Amino acid sequence: MQHYTFPPASSPQTGAERILNACARRPVDSTPIWFMRQAGRCIIEHQEMRKKYDLMTMLKTPELCVQATLMPVQAYGVDAAVIYADIMLPLEAMGVDVAITNSGPVIHNPIRTLQDVEALRIVEPEESVPYILESLRLLRSEIAGKQALIGIAGAPFTLACYLIEGQPSRDYTQAKTLMYSQPEIWAALMEKLSTVTASYLVAQIKAGADVVQLSDSWSGALSPSLYRRYVLPYTQRVFAAVKQTGQPAIHYGASTAALLEAMTEAGGDVIGIDWRMDLDAAWERIGTDHGIQGNLDPTFMVTPWPVLEEQTRDLLRRADGRPGHIFNLGHGVPYATEVDQIRRLVDTVHQLTAVQP
Amino acid sequence: MQHYTFPPASSPQTGAERILNACARRPVDSTPIWFMRQAGRCIIEHQEMRKKYDLMTMLKTPELCVQATLMPVQAYGVDAAVIYADIMLPLEAMGVDVAITNSGPVIHNPIRTLQDVEALRIVEPEESVPYILESLRLLRSEIAGKQALIGIAGAPFTLACYLIEGQPSRDYTQAKTLMYSQPEIWAALMEKLSTVTASYLVAQIKAGADVVQLSDSWSGALSPSLYRRYVLPYTQRVFAAVKQTGQPAIHYGASTAALLEAMTEAGGDVIGIDWRMDLDAAWERIGTDHGIQGNLDPTFMVTPWPVLEEQTRDLLRRADGRPGHIFNLGHGVPYATEVDQIRRLVDTVHQLTAVQP
């Protein structure tokens, strides 16, 4: 299921080649770069689409999803197109009544009992999210290897937190209370979520994704020992399924400064880190047998260019040209970011890291 | 300014002795324990007081403040009384128009320019917070050395974030944007805040506090390199001033898993950590020449007793009886915690760690 054959090192690389090379820690002709949440937030054409269509329509109509996915590629010159999707989508067919609001997903029937978990259905992705797979197929032929196509999914822990809390939460107290107090309900839920997430990512790869990113945005709410007990075995199962496809995976989490070793053990060819760490120190802990993605503080996107440039140079110094670095922010692009600022950052990263032939 | 003489090791220790011994990494007869936000949240008598008096009246009337401070000592049997105060109080006399709401402080005149910073007045604590100092003097004679009396202050970075944002924030984007983009305004603000915070803590010690805790609740929003650049020198100045009094200091922060070394360098005899780390691994990084405070996940307070007990035993195993551990949660006590659960935890920690004479 390897989508590309790699050209000789002297010829200029496509974005897809840069990303896939970085995932395999092979040399690149420039450090690849993309942005989490690159679709939408800062693009005027996207906001105009959002006035015409509601969010669910945009997510579920392949033509619109494809447009939203490609806009940032054209606007910014990034090396990857990341599917315009929401991590809650594969849960709908399980029987989860979810509304995606501006402040995050709201679940009208949150999970609280073993019966709630037992009622969740395991549905194959072709049936639960046919529109995403269709979007990926369209994107694949549209992109034709120029950029890497990235599929995404939420990790079981983060999905479970949403399902139990029912709404965005600061501390996940309800979810963690259930996890600590009723481990058998937790295990049953995580079992189902890891099964669904694994087949969802594998289906995205089959439909054309070159790389997948599993985002465990809330895993930083746990200590390493509790993460290993309640989360790692399930996340590991997801990565094991992806590994069988032969395509690489990125494992992202926020506030994971204590979790890096455990996250790396859970899986992923590349570990995505947030801005709360220094990249060089983090990479040392992750190990040179893994790539690293990140990790500019998103706040720098709304500072004057010289400030952003200085910090970009600092980050590249920390990456030190070692194969395996994918440039990204430590979290999503801030809404207030100017398109020109993003474009200039992309060009600068490419120029500063360009290898002379 | 040392308040106690230590009894021979064979006689039973008071709470104050346990806390002060732990701060100096001397042996204790039981691991000392207290809770951040122990006043108020779970105590019915406190809630009844809050019905009669508004928050500012309670904070600023020494008789009421003393009652609120002592209630948890009586209810829980903890080893320390922590002054019932809000970290924004010393800023009022600087000219900051602050309202303390249920969702946190709201500043009606947030700091945005150099003029705003220049307008802030440096006022001596005797003039700016006489009521806190009076409360401490009353508490000192009331407690009479039975428990340790802990003074508190917000660290310059956390105070600056509040002053710039003007309200509780998730990412401190405005504060960090100013910090990154206008470092001269930032430096001027941090200069003033560290001066005021240092004299505030020293005044609390002079009024009777045995120990002070400097809380940098938001410092985890920065990478170590940016923390060292924008925060460390100012925090260091605060701890240097406290050190001259001869009384010990606790340095607490949340989400600081990447910052431990830098925080330790900034100062404090004891480093307070949140629940996102394993205590043994954190202590190794902090070093055996420092104590450690923490770090049970507050969520365990609302789980059934056997779950809380198992986790408490796990935490004590990680502390391994080494001198210098102060038991605490990784953050404030959850509102939903039962008084009995807290009391039982205190007794259990004391019993499990009791040294046979």
Determine phi and psi for B232, rounding to 5 degrees: -50, -45
| Cβ pairs bridging A and B (under 8 Å) | 89
Of A181, A257, A334, nearest to B257 by CB-CB distance is: A257
- CB within 8 A of B130, min separation 6: which ones? none
Determine whether the interchain pair A176/B299 forms a contact, defined as Cβ–Cβ distance below 8 Å: yes
Would B6 be classed as within a structural domain? no
A41 annotated as a binding-site residue = yes
The mean per-residue pLDDT over the stretch A281-296 comes to 97
Show the tokens assigned to A35.
Answer: 């942005």
Alpha-carbon gap: A52 to the closest alpha carbon of chain B (Å): 30
* Alpha-carbon span B33 to B72, nearest angstrom: 12
β partners of residue B258: none
Residues of chain A neighbouring B276 (CB-CB closer than 8 A):
220-223, 255, 257-258
Of A172, A226, A277, nearest to B258 by CB-CB distance is: A277
Boundaries of domain holding B171? 15-352
Would B3 be classed as within a structural domain? no
Give the ranges where chain A is alpha helix by DSSP (H). 15-23, 44-52, 55-60, 62-76, 89-92, 114-118, 125-128, 130-143, 156-165, 173-181, 183-207, 224-230, 232-243, 260-266, 279-286, 305-319, 339-353
Would A9 be classed as within a structural domain? no
Determine whether the interchain pair A222/B278 forms a contact, defined as Cβ–Cβ distance below 8 Å: no
Residues of chain A neighbouring B334 (CB-CB closer than 8 A):
173
Would A58 be classed as within a structural domain? yes
**What pLDDT is attached to residue A100?**
86
**What pLDDT is attached to residue A101?**
83
B331 annotated as a binding-site residue = yes
Low-confidence ranges of chain B (pLDDT < 70): 1-11, 357
Would B149 be classed as within a structural domain? yes
- Lowest-confidence segment of A74-78, A352-356, B326-330 by average pLDDT: A352-356
Structurally, how many domains does chain A consist of? Answer: 1
Nearest alpha-carbon partner for A303 in A336, A326, A278: A336
Determine whether the interchain pair A297/B226 forms a contact, defined as Cβ–Cβ distance below 8 Å: yes
CATH code, domain with B275? 3.20.20.210
Nearest alpha-carbon partner for A84 in A72, A103, A68: A68
The mean per-residue pLDDT over the stretch A210-214 comes to 98
Would B276 be classed as within a structural domain? yes
Determine whether the interchain pair B276/A220 forms a contact, defined as Cβ–Cβ distance below 8 Å: yes
Residues of chain B neighbouring A275 (CB-CB closer than 8 A):
223
- Over residues A107-130, the pLDDT tens digits come to 999 999 999 999 999 999 999 999
ipTM score: 0.93
Residues of chain B neighbouring A177 (CB-CB closer than 8 A):
299, 302-303
Average pLDDT value for chain A:
94
The mean per-residue pLDDT over the stretch A277-298 comes to 97
- Lowest-confidence segment of A88-102, A274-288, B284-298 by average pLDDT: A88-102
Query: Is the predicted pLDDT of residue A4 greater than 50, yes or no?
Result: no
Of A180, A276, A302, nearest to B258 by CB-CB distance is: A276
Angstrom CA distances, A142 to A129, A206, B197, B225, B260, stand at 20, 16, 59, 42, 48
Alpha-carbon gap: B303 to the closest alpha carbon of chain A (Å): 6
A23, A248 Cβ separation under 8 angstroms: yes
Of B223, B255, B300, nearest to A278 by CB-CB distance is: B223
Helix, strand, coil proportions of chain B in percent (round to 5)?
A: 50, 10, 35
Of A172, A278, A302, nearest to B177 by CB-CB distance is: A302
**What pLDDT is attached to residue B6?**
40
pTM for the complete prediction?
0.94
Relative to beta strand B249-253, strand B270-272 is parallel
Residue A11 — very low, low, confident or very high, per pLDDT cuts 50/70/90?
Answer: low
Query: Is the predicted pLDDT of residue A83 greater than 90, yes or no?
Result: yes
Q: Which residue of A has its CA nearest to B277?
A: A223
Determine whether the interchain pair A281/B222 forms a contact, defined as Cβ–Cβ distance below 8 Å: no
**What pLDDT is attached to residue B11?**
61
Show the tokens assigned to A127.
Answer: 């049936």
**What pLDDT is attached to residue B211?**
98
Nearest alpha-carbon partner for A158 in A235, A233, A80: A235
Show the tokens assigned to A147.
Answer: 């950029």
To the nearest whole percent, how much of chain A has pLDDT over 90?
Answer: 91
B37 annotated as a binding-site residue = yes
Would A3 be classed as within a structural domain? no
β partners of residue A107: A98
Would A141 be classed as within a structural domain? yes
